[in-house]
């Protein structure tokens, strides 16, 4: 091969690579990431988390929608998911906390689904020998997740409302210890366990709506953090009267009264406050999400 021919081949190779790179930059659909600090919402992620409420799709239908707005001077973002045979919501989990966009489940992706986005979910221990351990329930693929061999069952924690969901069906239940007595979960016994057959479950804090009514089914318990006193940013998992899921992030301190009014305007029938504060985060992939203006 003479030198001139070699240069031509090299030129063609470089040109093809440049065109491929340009096409990638032109047509790629970037991942959008939001997180919150004490001053403002920021692009990017700030805190590693143990659990997520994630969305998966086979890409054949646009049934995931993103919208944003302002509520009491705080920006909010909503991922609205219409669950179908093509798109579904799933609890994902890591024994060691990771960044939210790293919590996509590889087995679900290997099964032919695309990760479309998600939000941070339940509370977890931040320090000590149990750092990273979820508080309350983590249920996925019809069984309790394990933290170093121990089930992430509702009894690990106190004063938690828990969302259980399969497909388009969602329900809220309360689990809590009071003075050494298990209360709020009539179905539980040592012999029968929790009598739960939902595919997914995740514990949050208190509820804004339950079964179509504005109510806190915990009777005033707060979970790990009493956001009614401390305020700060909010993560909320809700469902409306059409059985659509609402993954809500409020990037700022908004009163619970205003949040309840806001959820009512969204026709929420179930709404659970999740871990918030600096854990408040959202990720979505533009390719699979339709922007609502």
Q: Whole-model pTM? A: 0.87
DSSP state letter for 189: B
- At residue 159, the pLDDT reads 72
Q: Strand, helix or coil at 287?
A: helix
Residue identified by tokens 């309350």 is 136
For residues 228 and 189, the model is more confident at 228
Rounded average pLDDT over 11-30: 47
CB atoms within 10 A of CB 186: 9
Most confident among 30-34, 123-127, 183-187, 216-220 (mean pLDDT): 30-34
Would you say 256 and 212 are in contact if contact means Cβ atoms under 8 Å apart?
no
Please determine, for residue 29, whether its predicted confidence score (pLDDT) is greater than 70.
no
DSSP state letter for 265: H
Max CA distance (Å), the chain: 87
- The 10s digit of each residue's pLDDT in 214-242 is 999 988 776 767 777 777 899 999 999 99
Beta strand ranges found along 3-86 (DSSP E): 31-36, 41-43, 49-57, 64-71, 74-81
Handedness of CA 118, 168, 152, 155 (dihedral sign): positive
Name the helix (H) or strand (E) containing 106.
helix 106-110
Residue identified by tokens 């590693």 is 48
DSSP state letter for 143: E
């Amino acid at each position: 091969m003479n030198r001139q021919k070699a240069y031509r081949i090299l030129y063609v190779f470089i040109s093809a690579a440049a065109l491929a790179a340009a096409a990638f930059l032109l047509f790629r659909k970037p991942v959008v990431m939001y997180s919150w600090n004490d001053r403002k919402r920021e692009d990017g992620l700030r805190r590693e988390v143990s659990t997520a409420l994630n969305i998966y799709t086979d890409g054949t239908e646009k049934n995931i929608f993103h919208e944003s707005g302002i509520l009491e001077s705080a920006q909010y973002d909503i991922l609205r998911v219409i669950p179908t045979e093509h798109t579904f919501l799933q609890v994902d989990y890591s024994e060691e906390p990771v960044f939210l966009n790293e919590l996509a489940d590889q087995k679900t992706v290997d099964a032919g689904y695309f990760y479309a986005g998600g939000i941070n979910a339940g509370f977890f221990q931040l320090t000590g020998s149990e750092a990273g351990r979820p508080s309350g329930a983590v249920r996925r693929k019809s069984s309790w997740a394990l933290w170093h061999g121990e089930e992430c069952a509702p009894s690990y924690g106190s004063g938690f409302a828990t969302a259980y969901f399969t497909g388009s069906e969602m329900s809220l239940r309360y689990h809590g210890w009071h003075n050494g007595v298990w209360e709020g979960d009539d179905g539980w016994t040592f012999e029968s366990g929790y009598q739960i057959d939902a595919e997914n479950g995740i514990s949050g804090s208190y509820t804004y709506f339950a079964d179509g009514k504005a109510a806190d089914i915990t009777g005033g318990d707060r979970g790990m953090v009493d956001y009614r006193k401390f305020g700060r940013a909010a993560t909320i998992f809700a469902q409306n009267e059409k059985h659509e899921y609402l993954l809500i992030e409020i990037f700022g301190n908004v009163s619970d009264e205003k949040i309840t009014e806001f959820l009512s305007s969204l026709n929420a029938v179930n709404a659970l406050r999740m871990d918030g504060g600096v854990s408040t985060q959202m990720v979505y992939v533009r390719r699979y999400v339709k922007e609502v203006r």
